[in-house]
Amino acid sequence: MEFTQLLISGISQGCVYGLIALGFVLIYKATEMVNFAQGDLMMLGAYFAYTFVHILNFPFVWGLLATMATMAAVGALIERTVLRPMIGEPPFAVLMITIGLGFLLRAIAGAVWGSEPKSITSPLAGGVVRVDGVAIGYENIAIIGGTLILSLLLFAFFRFTRMGMAMQAASQNQLAAYYCGIPVKRVYSIVWALSAAIAATAGVLVAPITLVDPMMGFVGIKAFAAAIVGGFGSLQGAMAGGLLIGIVEQFAGLYLPTGFSDTTAYVLLLLMLFVRPEGLFATMQRKKV
């Protein structure tokens, strides 16, 4: 019973990690940039949702859609101003700039909304489903369900649409992509918009459970570990990694002394890097010289 409860919590938490990791991997797959500010994009999404739902009094679903649209715009804006000049620069520089971006976003959020935690009440609040004596909150179902839908949509997008293929091409060899007529810069903007929208969704889904404050983006670091465990560059990997870490974390909280469960993500990460650096679903290949 407790096992199932922990499992559900783990899956739910894992979905949150997985969604953020999806955002990472999306940007990486398409632009080969590592976005350390992904968690902070989620944080911004949660704040925008709070604004739409509680300050402007939108109905919840409209608030969610408005948030996604706004964050998509924000994502594209960030890409245009901060990341566009970094195309072709070494990965380290891009990493540093996204770290800086994260700091900046947190400061801005703190300035605009204040640092006191806010809460978002969703229409699903409080409801539980009882299966076999196990109580599953509606929020958890929403998280898991929402994640499933998003993952399937993304998978189909990359597999079957031209834009999806264009994104992959642009990330592997930009110059060649230009020559093939792919509008690389526009592709990048779309990628960032998409990724920000996904992060926003994660923020909205998780906000009713946790509170909204500027530091909530730090979960992004664990999501990062999830992406690596799953195999950076693989969408399935991001989800798998997130679920793995989410579940193991819950059980670690039960069996290990307090405080250790926090380092679960890091330990798993290091383990994976030692044993199988390419992650669960490997995408790195050997260069032919």
Contact pick of 96, 163, 165, 248 for other proteins (by CB under 8 A): 96
Contact pick of 55, 59, 100, 183 for other proteins (by CB under 8 A): 100
**146 contacts other proteins (rule: CB under 8 A):** no
Pick 1 or 275: Cβ nearer other proteins: 275
Chain-centroid distance, C-alpha 289: 35
Contact 102, 44 (CB under 8 A): no
The count of C-alpha atoms lying within 13 angstroms of the C-alpha of 274, restricted to the half-sphere facing its C-beta, is 6
Identity of residue 284: M
Cα(282)–Cα(272) distance, rounded to whole angstroms?
Answer: 12
**Distant-in-sequence, close-in-space partners of 64: CB < 8 Å, separation ≥ 6:** 49, 201, 204
What number of chain residues touch other proteins (CB under 8 A)?
58
Residue 57 CB, nearest approach to other proteins (Å): 25
By CB under 8 A, the residues from 56 to 75 that bind other proteins are none
Residue 114 CB, nearest approach to other proteins (Å): 9
Pick 108 or 124: Cβ nearer other proteins: 108
Pick 72 or 86: Cβ nearer other proteins: 86
SS3 212: strand
Contact pick of 6, 7, 69, 99 for other proteins (by CB under 8 A): 99
**183 contacts other proteins (rule: CB under 8 A):** no
Please count the other Cβ atoms lying within 10 Å of the Cβ belonging to residue 233. 21
Cα(32)–Cα(30) distance, rounded to whole angstroms?
Answer: 6
Contact 19, 198 (CB under 8 A): yes
Interface contacts to other proteins, rule CB under 8 A: 31-32, 34, 82, 85-89, 91-93, 95-97, 99-111, 115, 171-175, 178, 214, 221, 224-225, 228, 232-233, 259-260, 263, 266-267, 269-270, 273-274, 277, 283-287, 289
